[in-house]
Amino acid sequence: MSFTLPDLPYAYDSLQPFMSAETLEFHHDKHHKAYVDKGNELAGDGTKYAGMSIEDICKKAYSDSDQAVVNQIGQHYNHIHFWQWMKGGGGGTRVPGKLEPLVDAYGGLDKVRSDFIAAGMGQFGSGWCWLAIRDGKLEVAKTPNGENPLMHGAQPILGCDVWEHSYYIDYRNARPKYLEAFFDSLVNWDYVESRLDC
Ligand code: MN3
């Protein structure tokens, strides 16, 4: 398959003041596009990955230790969903119905929040923090660089990009403030819930 850059599902200025139009212009138009372009070279038509789903490419590249494809296609997958995992007026203190029992079994939304932020803080250097489903249960995880939970046997349902390109314009080095704003004010919980069925 060939990979394409999806449009943002909202206007560039719709996540302000928590994420600026300038951040989204660079992050989506430059960074994500570069992963798409490089991904097409490494894993597009004419490669051993031709015809595979992006999820299967993530898993195969990781199990084959194909680091270049892990990075580029992993990042393409992560960013496709990252844009959807946010919305203007997101966050809040309630989650949709199908997520509720999973969050409750984990120990409640406050615990999910603090563990998610701690995972993002604890990822040294570039990477992601996650909510994922493993064996029917919610877990919090972190991964380096372009990796994601698919490569580690779990289903990602929420991810936050903690590469500096995601927050440095708006928050400089204050990664915790960015993570708090993401969780409290940006998360599109309906999209998170929709990932349970994938
Ligand atoms: Mn990014």
Q: How many residues does the chain have?
A: 198
Dist. CA 166 → ligand 1 center (Å) = 6
What integer pLDDT is reported at residue 1 of this predicted model?
72
Q: State the Cα–Cα distance between residues 178 and 134, nearest whole angstrom.
A: 27
Answer yes or no: do 79 and 104 share one domain.
Answer: no
**The pLDDT of residue 197:** 84
CA distance 170 to 10: 19
pLDDT in tens, the chain (198 residues): 799 999 999 999 999 999 999 999 999 999 999 999 999 999 999 999 999 999 999 999 999 999 999 999 999 999 999 999 999 999 999 999 999 999 999 999 999 999 999 999 999 999 999 999 999 999 999 999 999 999 999 999 999 999 999 999 999 999 999 999 999 999 999 999 999 987
How far is ligand 1, taken at its centre, from the CA of residue 70, in Å? 14
Q: How far is the CA of 185 from the centre of ligand 1 (A)?
A: 19
pTM for this prediction: 0.97
**Residue 15 in domain:** no
Q: How many domains does the chain have?
A: 2
Q: Is residue 91 part of a domain?
A: no
Quick one: 156 and 75 in the same domain? no
Domain that holds residue 122: 100-197
Do 142 and 110 sit in the same domain of this protein?
yes
What CATH number is given to the structural domain containing 143?
3.55.40.20
What's the CA-to-centroid distance between 79 and ligand 1, angstroms? 6
Which pLDDT does position 74 carry in this prediction? Answer: 98
**Are 76 and 148 contained in the same domain?**
no
Which residues, in sequence order, are bridge partners of residue 132?
139, 156
Distance 105 CA to ligand 1 centre (A): 31
How many whole angstroms separate alpha carbon 171 and alpha carbon 179?
10
Ligand 1 centroid distance, CA of 77 (Å): 11
Residue 182 CA neighbour count, 13 Å, CB half: 27
Domain co-membership, 107 together with 170: yes
| Beta pairing, strands 137-144 & 155-161 | unpaired
Give the single-character DSSP code of 22.
H
DSSP state for residue 142 in the 8-state scheme: E
- Are 75 and 153 part of one and the same domain? no
- Evaluate whether residue 92 is within a structural domain: no
104 alpha carbon to ligand 1 midpoint, in Å? 30
The pLDDT score that the predictor gives to residue 178 is 98
How close is the Cα of 109 to the center of ligand 1, in Å? 25
120 in the same domain as 67: no
Q: 56 and 109 in one domain? A: no
Q: Is residue 80 one of the residues assigned to a domain?
A: yes
